[in-house]
Amino acid sequence: MCIEQIAEIRNWILLFLATIGAIVTLKTFIDNIRQRRLDNTFKTLDYLRKHITKEQIDTFIELFHANNPLGVPENEFHLKEGRKDYIETMFSEGGCGNGDIHNMIEVFNLLAKSLNKNLLDEDLIWYEYGQIMLTCYRWTKYLEDHKEKQVDLSRREGMSDKEYKEFLKAWGEQLEGINKFFYDFNAYMKRATKELLGKSTKYYTYVE
């Protein structure tokens, strides 16, 4: 065997070893990412359990039934003692969602930033909170789709052209902020809902 052949065989062996080394390094890197994502997910679930209380979940269950899609108009809540509320006003002062539900959605909005970056195992999150997230998304999506109907933008009596333009500008800025507390949550759910619907989730309540 000539020197050139020995050198070529040596080069092939070195290439083979380098390839094996690269594969092992890549696998270790991927495994580390998966483990980090899993660790982050369990820490996040602990955080969610601390910040989504039993009282908040009880409020969710009550509103879930009050907004039963089988017998109640899409945007209405038929509450105890014959009282009614609406999605358009549920987060205003005294609204049925002001407080517990608003706080839950704010937590989900924070969570969505990490889910959108694929930093968490969404299957585990979905199993634990999928029903609540999906129902809250039904409400926030309605608000997003109908946000311009929440205010009366018609011209007020006695308004000059300048005053009306200033009025529209002010309300325009306010409308932009209406969905701020659920913007990232809606963006995530819009992308992920179709895929997640077929996956297992815990049920906190059922349609009656």
**Residue 80 domain-assigned?**
yes
Task: Tell me, yes or no, whether 30 and 79 share the same domain.
Answer: no
Task: Tell me, yes or no, whether 33 and 129 share the same domain.
Answer: no
Which parts of the chain have pLDDT scores under 70? Answer: 1, 5-7, 9, 16-18, 21-22, 24-26, 28-33, 148-159, 163-164, 166-178
Task: Tell me, yes or no, whether 119 and 28 share the same domain.
Answer: no
Task: Tell me, yes or no, whether 8 and 87 share the same domain.
Answer: no
Tokens 């308004």 belong to residue:
159
Domain range for residue 179? 52-196
Task: Tell me, yes or no, whether 78 and 119 share the same domain.
Answer: yes
Structure-token pair, residue 85: 């509320």
pLDDT tens by residue, 31-90? 566 778 889 999 999 999 999 999 999 999 999 999 988 888 999 999 988 889 999 888
CA pair distance 127, 120, nearest whole angstrom = 13
Task: Tell me, yes or no, whether 175 and 72 share the same domain.
Answer: yes
Task: Tell me, yes or no, whether 18 and 78 share the same domain.
Answer: no
Task: Tell me, yes or no, whether 183 and 97 share the same domain.
Answer: yes
pTM for the predicted model, two decimal places: 0.76
Task: Tell me, yes or no, whether 59 and 158 share the same domain.
Answer: yes
In DSSP terms, 84 is beta-bridged to 78
**pLDDT for 180:** 81
